[in-house]
Amino acid sequence: MSIDTTKIVGAFRSFSPQKLAAEGEVRNHKKFTQVLDGTVKPLKILDNSKLQAAEVATFSQLHLLQGLFSADEEKAGDDFFSNLRQLESLEKTVAQKSHILDKYYIVQQPSLLNPGQDERSEIEQMIDQVAKKVSLAPELIHSVVSAESAYNPSAISHAGAQGLMQLMPETAKELGVQDSFNPLQNLLGGSKYLKQLLDKYEGDLDSALAAYNWGQGNVDRRGLEQMPEETRAYLTKIKSLLKTQSA
């Protein structure tokens, strides 16, 4: 069975683009559906040997219909094929966004969750080992980790600080940390940095913690008297945690 494309063309000669536009979008869609149904239904009874030729003919017919329907409707913004193209574009966009969202939930979602008990225990053991290596009190590292990330190695701040001790990417790089989300690397880098600050400020814990939270430059230029409220609250929290750790 073959498809006579001349019959399809003849069926539309009595419908000028202007007339179709005047009859409205519903009429256009109805006519399109009728012709499309008449084209597709015969395909169902074709044997496989004729299927490819029939698909080529159908593709050609659809191009013909696109030209008939889009003559005036594109100007009016009601073109059926234009809507189809917009839908395809929307579907691609949704697919891309879905891929991004999937990536977000795979990579970032753990930062919204608390670590499991086994992971927390491993982190606590790492802290004790790191404390010995950098010559810091483990209670201090524990307090900073608790305040900074609540022991979450995947934590990310709104400012971009990463990991257990919330290292900024630039600081992590200077400290030789290649992966801030690696618990051991982050603890080593953060503890080393904290030790450097304590040495710089000659053991003054307030200055060292303020510099860790607010930045060395701010502490050096403005002093502790001009600390922002956020940094004051940070110092208070660390000291409270230290008391709990020491109790």
**pLDDT tens digits along 8-58:** 444 444 444 454 444 555 555 555 556 555 554 554 444 454 555 555 565
Tokens for 11? 């069926």
Q: In the chain, what percentage of residues exceed pLDDT 90?
A: 51
| Residues noted as catalytic | 148
- Give me the number of domains the chain comprises: 2
Q: Is the pLDDT of residue 109 over 90?
A: no
Are 122 and 167 found together in one domain? yes
Are 11 and 131 found together in one domain? no
Are 73 and 156 found together in one domain? no
Residues 44 and 92 sit within 8 Å (Cβ to Cβ): no
CA distances from 123 to 109, 115, 119, 142 (A): 20, 10, 6, 10
Q: In the chain, what percentage of residues exceed pLDDT 70?
A: 53
Are 143 and 175 found together in one domain? yes
Tokens for 92? 């691609």
Are 165 and 50 found together in one domain? no
Distance CA 234, CA 231 (A): 5
Q: Is the pLDDT of residue 69 over 50?
A: no
What's the Rg (C-alpha) of the chain?
34
DSSP 55-73: HHHHHHHHHHHHHHHHHHH
Residue 94 — very low, low, confident or very high, per pLDDT cuts 50/70/90? very low
The domain boundary, picked from 63, 87, 107, lies at 107
Are 91 and 130 found together in one domain? no
Are 162 and 187 found together in one domain? yes
What's the mean per-residue pLDDT of the chain? 75
Q: What is the CATH number of the domain that holds 167?
A: 1.10.530.10
Are 52 and 130 found together in one domain? no
> Which pLDDT score, from 0 to 100, does residue 13 have?
46
Domain that holds residue 11: 5-107
The domain boundary, picked from 60, 81, 107, lies at 107
Residue 245 — very low, low, confident or very high, per pLDDT cuts 50/70/90? confident
The more confident residue out of 150 and 45 is 150
Residues 3 and 42 sit within 8 Å (Cβ to Cβ): yes
Are 61 and 152 found together in one domain? no
Confidence (pTM): 0.55
Are 54 and 150 found together in one domain? no
Are 90 and 156 found together in one domain? no
Are 181 and 153 found together in one domain? yes
The more confident residue out of 76 and 229 is 229
Q: What one-character DSSP code corresponds to residue 228?
A: -
Residue 161, sorted as left (phi over 0), alpha (psi -120 to 50) or beta, turns out to be beta
Q: Give the tens place of pLDDT for each residue, 178-223.
A: 999 999 999 999 999 999 999 999 999 999 999 999 999 999 999 9
